[in-house]
Amino acid sequence: MRELYPEIEPYLTYRLAVDDIHELHVEECGNPDGLPVVFLHGGPGAGVSAYHRRFFDPRRFRIVLFDQRGAGKSTPHADLRNNTTWHLVDDIEAIREHCGVERWVVFGGSWGSTLALAYAQTHPERVLGLVLRGIFLGRPAEVRWFNELDGGARWIFPERWAHFLAHIPVEERGNMVEAYWRRLDSDDQAVRLAAARAWGYWEGGSTTLVHDPQEPGIFEDPQAAIGVARAEVHYFRHGVFLEPDQLLRDVERVRHIPATIVHGRYDIICPVKNACDLAEAWPEAGLHIVLAGHSAADPAIVDVLVQATDSLADRYI
């Protein structure tokens, strides 16, 4: 089993203004002369973490990571103005141009896989390869699966679902996403934070293969919880700013690009059918279904992801 590369610090950190509102936190790691790769984090709204740098051989890759609009260290925090899938696609291009990169590898997991596909289908001439994990295609059924009463995830994690459900009055439970939005958009900071913590407890503790119902989740930090919850609900209630089945419809634009798809068999947040649907539309891509949940840190997922990035380095260096 391949493991993550050793911990590494950025050799360059900077801020990039992408419009009159938003300024992105960007960092570069590894070899400044290496094969360029951009890392697209999940969420939306989650931001990058130090371990995200470690999926790439630092001797061979120029690793570019950034916090998307309103996420992590980007500013203004949790701001949803001018914040859509297509604004983020434009931001990736702005970073590429700022870096002076002609073409690069695109790596994304969960929401990052959605964004990676949207970017690659818009700018296929800029993409050397795709590494996609925990596929989320942004379809309404996928959002409902995890967040609504007629979805299936509540049957898998009933203890967590009970907590998620209890935050919303009975009369509003027919549309949980909208009910949470009303609270996350409240002028009352305490109301916003309580909703964000409930949202984060449901999602943040449901990522791993080995599940502990008492695990508090990964979004207990107030600032992170509000940023992630507001961004996710904003995107979900707008259909992820995609046309119906858009990412599957437009796969033809990227079928020539080397691609690896890895998905946990027991991923409850993004069911494995998402990856199977993508692979059916894209037979040239390598599909790996492994014994894991949703988390990129699950060992079986790490193994395939590191193999995939090493393979692209072998191919292009």
φ, ψ of residue 303 to 5 degrees: the values are: -55, -50
pLDDT band at 214 (very low <50, low <70, confident <90, very high): low
Band (pLDDT 50/70/90 cuts) for residue 172 is: very high
Active site residue: 74, 91, 294, 298, which one?
294
- Kindly name the residue from 74, 110, 113, 295 that is annotated as catalytic: 110
Which pair of structure tokens corresponds to residue 63?
């690793």
Q: What are the helix (H) ranges across the chain?
A: 85-99, 111-122, 140-147, 153-156, 158-166, 176-184, 189-204, 222-237, 246-249, 273-281, 299-316
Closest CA to 127 of 238, 231, 259: 259
- pLDDT at 220 (0 to 100): 64
Mean pLDDT of the chain: 95
Residue 233 and residue 235: Cα distance in Å, rounded? Answer: 5
pLDDT at 192: 95
Q: Rounded distance, CA 258 to CA 59, Å?
A: 22
- Average pLDDT (113-130) is 98
- Cβ(71)–Cβ(22) below 8 Å: no
Query: Can 212 be counted among the known catalytic residues?
Result: no
Domain boundaries, the chain: 12-138+242-316, 141-240
Q: Which residue among the candidates 52, 267, 288, 298 is catalytic per the annotation?
A: 267
Distances (CA, A) of 49 to 46, 54, 141, 193, 203: 9, 10, 29, 22, 17
Residue 67 identity: D
What confidence tens digit (pLDDT) does each residue in 288-303 have?
A: 999 999 999 999 999 9
What average pLDDT does range 127-142 have in this prediction?
A: 98
At residue 285's C-alpha, the angle toward residues 284 and 288, to 5°, is: 135
Q: How does pLDDT run across 93-120, given as a tens digit for each residue?
A: 999 999 999 999 999 999 999 999 999 9
Q: With bands split at pLDDT 50, 70 and 90, how would you rate the model's confidence at 215?
A: low
Strand, coil or helix: 76: coil
Please check the confidence at residue 209 and state whether its pLDDT lies above 90.
no
The model's pLDDT over 231-285, given as tens digits with 9 standing for 90+, comes to: 999 999 999 999 999 999 999 999 999 999 999 999 999 999 999 999 999 999 9
> Is 77 a residue of the active site?
no
Taking CA atoms, 58 is separated from 10, 107, 293, in Å, by 10, 15, 27
Q: Is 294 a catalytic residue?
A: yes
CATH architecture for the domain at 12-138+242-316:
3-Layer(aba) Sandwich (3.40)
Q: Report the pLDDT averaged over residues 212-238.
A: 82
What is the chain's length? Answer: 317
H helical segments located in 100-149: 111-122, 140-147
| pLDDT of 204 | 80
Euclidean distance between CA atoms 185 and 192, whole angstroms? 7
Q: Which positions ≥6 away from 5 have C-beta within 8 Å? A: 53, 54, 55, 56, 57, 58, 306
pLDDT at position 205: 77
3-state secondary structure 152-218: CHHHHCHHHHHHHHHCCCHHHCCCHHHHHHHHHCCCCHHHHHHHHHHHHHHHHCCCCCCCCCCCCCC
The arithmetic mean of pLDDT across residues 166-172, rounded, is 98
% of the chain residues with pLDDT over 90: 92
| Torsion angles phi and psi, residue 21, rounded to 5 | -110, -50
The pTM is what?
A: 0.96
Q: What is the mean pLDDT of residues 77-81?
A: 96
Mean pLDDT of 164-172: 97
pLDDT of residue 206: 83
